[in-house]
Structure 1
Amino acid sequence: MTWIAPTITCRDIPTNAGEREMLQGWLDFHRDTLLAKCAGLTADQLVEASTPPSTLTLLGLVRHMTEVERSWFRQRFLGQRIGDLYHTAADEDADFNEAAPAGAEADFAAFGAEIRTCDRMVEERGLDETFTASGSRTLSLRWVYVHMIEEYARHNGHADLLRERIDGATG
């Protein structure tokens, strides 16, 4: 049986909420949007590249955002000494370059697990809490939320174009 990316119901964005709820709501909206762009596609369709020689695929975006969630929330903000899921010393772009249909279901599961872990680990942390990134920049958890929203928004634009190329679906 061929694995197909599951259908998702996108959560509503809060329209009148406190800062934390608003940031979390927008982040969840963009997470859901990426999954919605993949919904109903087979694993083979999820690895269809945008246009050669690009390795940009919907599955690659899911893998990339799994890595980005882990990197910003857990490795950088929380300072956890945990390895990358996809990046390797030999290939910094392995999240895209090594995306394969056989791993699609596991990659989607890893995405969901990473999101749940990140959310749980920062839910009680203050938005004003800071950390040092790249040796000298002091950033806050608030900055991470805004950056994650921006990162998803940019990549969801890519996902729009990829999905339309695969089966004509838009919206």
Structure 2
Amino acid sequence: MARGEGLTWRMETMPLTPPFGPELVVTSDERQVLESFLDFYRRIVVTKLHDVSDADAKRRLVPSETTLAGLLRHLAVVERNWFQHHLAGRPTPPGDADGGWSVEHTSMAELLDDYSRECARSRETAAGYALDDTGSHEQMGAVSLRWIYVHMIDETARHAGHIDILRELTDGSTGVW
């Protein structure tokens, strides 16, 4: 399947010009605000990476092993971990044990598809829960969907910033999109 073929993601319908997703919900309820901010950063990740070559995505540009491809795979693993495992109680796939940083044999098209699918699954899973509903975390105990949303906004925004910097180092591309 070609990248994005046959899949529809809410993040693709978010506007690319101001006002952006979060600006459209300034008087909405808490859940709409949380979902909008998370989808906004998810969209930034996808848009910043959609045209990066496999070679550029796997290039190490900083002293650590952080790469564009590694960040994208990590974000897909984080989506699975928090929404599928911790919230919904589903088992963690064995391939996610490394936190998602291993990308040697994976193309950017596959990584983008996986991330977009996981975002859609996360949305679908979260829709079945109220913000006060809880899942379970091995060290923290009960975690609410509200907390998961805030954590995922933080995680996705932080890594979107990393992606922005690495993308600029790769080809000079700057800006949100």
TM-score range, shorter chain: 0.7 to 0.9
1:113-157, Cα deviation, whole Å (9 max, x unpaired): 111111111213100011332255321110000000000111111
Match of 1:33 in 2: 44
Supply the distance in 1 between the matched residues of 2:161 and 2:89 (Cα, whole angstroms): 30
Supply the distance in 1 between the matched residues of 2:13 and 2:124 (Cα, whole angstroms): 21
1:44-99, Cα deviation, whole Å (9 max, x unpaired): 111121224x2111111110000000000110111112414443xxxx25x22x31
Q: Is the 8 A contact 1:43 1:101 kept in 2?
A: no
Match of 2:144 in 1: 140
Match of 2:157 in 1: 153
In structure 2, stretches of 5+ residues that fail to align are: 5-11, 16-20
Q: Is the 8 A contact 2:76 2:114 kept in 1?
A: yes
In structure 2, the CA distance between the partners of 1:4 and 1:41, relative to structure 1 (3 Å rule), is farther
Match among 34, 53, 68 for residue 42 of structure 1: 53
Q: Which runs of 4+ in 1 moved over 6 A?
A: none
Match of 1:51 in 2: 62
Distance apart, 1:101 and its partner CA: 6.6
Q: Is the 8 A contact 1:49 1:56 kept in 2?
A: yes
The answer to whether the aligner puts 1:69 opposite 2:71 as a matched pair is: no
Supply the distance in 1 between the matched residues of 2:80 and 2:110 (Cα, whole angstroms): 16
Match among 91, 94, 100 for residue 81 of structure 1: 91
58-67 vs 100-109, greater mean Cα deviation: 100-109
Match of 2:115 in 1: 111
The answer to whether the aligner puts 1:126 opposite 2:130 as a matched pair is: yes
How many residues of Structure 1 are paired with residues of Structure 2 in the alignment? 160
Q: Percent identity?
A: 31
Distance apart, 1:38 and its partner CA: 1.1
In structure 2, the CA distance between the partners of 1:58 and 1:135, relative to structure 1 (3 Å rule), is closer
In structure 1, stretches of 5+ residues that fail to align are: none
The answer to whether the aligner puts 1:16 opposite 2:20 as a matched pair is: no
Supply the distance in 2 between the matched residues of 1:57 and 1:136 (Cα, whole angstroms): 29
Which residue type is aligned with residue 59 of structure 2?
E
Supply the distance in 1 between the matched residues of 2:106 and 2:133 (Cα, whole angstroms): 40
Match of 1:166 in 2: 170
